[in-house]
Structure 1
């Protein structure tokens, strides 16, 4: 039993050490904010990996980067510059002076506290800014963007790392399964207004160029549309009003009543027998 404990204990310690290397707790945040700590945890799959980018001008350099890990055997070195000629290493940024800014599908990782510039940038310490972005490629791509050292203060090195680690899960499947937001009624209205626009444009051009109409007569079927109000009123009158209940003039034994007036001055005495 004692022998088993002696064997298991070192293994447990070894596994615990490996587990510690796989997280981002090695990075020391300058602000020590919880949001930045949560941002760093998103980079866990990138730990214990070295990313190398090469630059040939003005001299051949290699830039080596790790997420919260030592580079080139230098303590706390998160990103270093290596001269390809003499293999001299220059510390660009320390991971014990880290900032982390998160976007929708990117993280800006900033390492500060590098070696000081010799004669420019007011001899301030070097600083590395690594833009880590979502990429659909299965292969991570690390590249140099620029070294901004042509000013007195605020100089920095800018790098890009494209990786699928920061891509939202199942983003492509979600995009393919997203249904159309247009309803049947919206599509119908779009078709109606499109046809109306074609009708108005074509009719206007025909009236103007072929018929030679001027003014409002250029409007297609102007005579019909100018009477649309009257036609609508007639239709409403026909449909909505009942004609069966209208009062009819009174009649007596089939003889229509006529207004009584004075008797005619004409007499019929000449019809009587003499």
Structure 2
């Protein structure tokens, strides 16, 4: 699986790398791949609620560069904590998943007392309205990390459309033509010709002759027994060959 690289700028996201070529290639792809691009989604744990902006500031915060905001469920009206900012972002993209990481270099006070970062892993799926927390936070150096999984349909492999084979199409056409011929012929023979019974079958004589010819052909091709007289017999199998007795019977 080949990684496509890092982005340097995506709309409101200011990424840490500045490769112009990679930026031009991936900047357009992100908006096409992710149905939640420039939208806000949410995630929750037992104790916390997260408002997550995909390269956009969540509506629940006044911080101008906030990307992910954490709130305590016990004090939801209290102050929120910014754990990731739009000004410090990394994006790694492959053919089947994307990984978007927000960082906040300011020390978190009250949870892990360290710098924080939040990583969004975009995978194939249909539930793009919410994120799934995979890791609440880790006491790692130099920062505390949060990990979320987001499902997006654009990353799912495209299924090849199944097409009917030429044989199937031919059989369907043959059945349709046969049905039209039979039904139309029956109606014509009944209402126009006034036929009854087996005479309702259109072209009945032709089909009967065709059946006999087919039977004769099968009999000719598949016949195993022959009528060749056996040795010692004359003309048929029931009478003895008396030609060898001519000298005895002669006067």
TM-score by length of 1: 0.47
CA distance in 2, matches of 1:139, 1:65: 12
How far apart are 1:28 and its partner, in Å?
Answer: 0.7
Match of residue 41 from structure 2 = 51
C-alpha contact 1:120 1:149 (8 A) present in aligned 2: no
C-alpha contact 1:39 1:101 (8 A) present in aligned 2: no
* Structure (1/2) with the larger helix percentage: 1
- Based on CA coordinates, which of the two structures has the bigger radius of gyration? 1
Match of residue 231 from structure 1 = none
1:158 to 137, 140, 147: 147
C-alpha contact 2:52 2:67 (8 A) present in aligned 1: yes
How far apart are 1:139 and its partner, in Å?
Answer: 4.6
* Structure (1/2) with the larger strand percentage: 2
1:42 to 29, 32, 36: 29
In the TM superposition, structure 1's runs of 4+ consecutive aligned residues that sit over 6 Å from their partners are none
1:1-274 aligned at under 5 Å gives the runs: 24-34=10-20, 35-36=22-23, 38-44=25-31, 45-56=35-46, 60-71=47-58, 72-87=61-76, 88-113=79-104, 115-118=106-109, 123-135=113-125, 137=126, 139-168=128-157, 171-173=158-160
CA distance in 2, matches of 1:66, 1:93: 10
Q: In angstroms, what is the RMSD of aligned CA positions?
A: 2.8
Cα deviation digits, residues 19-40 of structure 1 (max 9, x gap): xxxx942111111223256434
CA distance in 2, matches of 1:120, 1:140: 27
How far apart are 1:61 and its partner, in Å?
Answer: 1.0
Bigger relative contact order (CA 8 A; separation at least 6): 2
CA distance in 2, matches of 1:158, 1:37: 27
**What are the ranges of 5 or more consecutive residues in structure 2 without an aligned counterpart?**
1-8, 164-251
Cα deviation digits, residues 108-139 of structure 1 (max 9, x gap): 00111254133786x5421011101122x265
Cα deviation digits, residues 195-229 of structure 1 (max 9, x gap): xxxxxxxxxxxxxxxxxxxxxxxxxxxxxxxxxxx
CA distance in 1, matches of 2:135, 2:80: 18
How far apart are 1:158 and its partner, in Å?
Answer: 0.5
CA distance in 2, matches of 1:76, 1:37: 23
How far apart are 1:152 and its partner, in Å?
Answer: 3.8
SS at the partner of 2:11? coil
SS at the partner of 1:173? coil
C-alpha contact 1:77 1:91 (8 A) present in aligned 2: yes
Q: 1:48 to 1:152 in 2, by over 3 A?
A: closer
SS at the partner of 1:113? strand
TM-score by length of 2: 0.51
Q: 1:114 to 1:145 in 2, by over 3 A?
A: farther
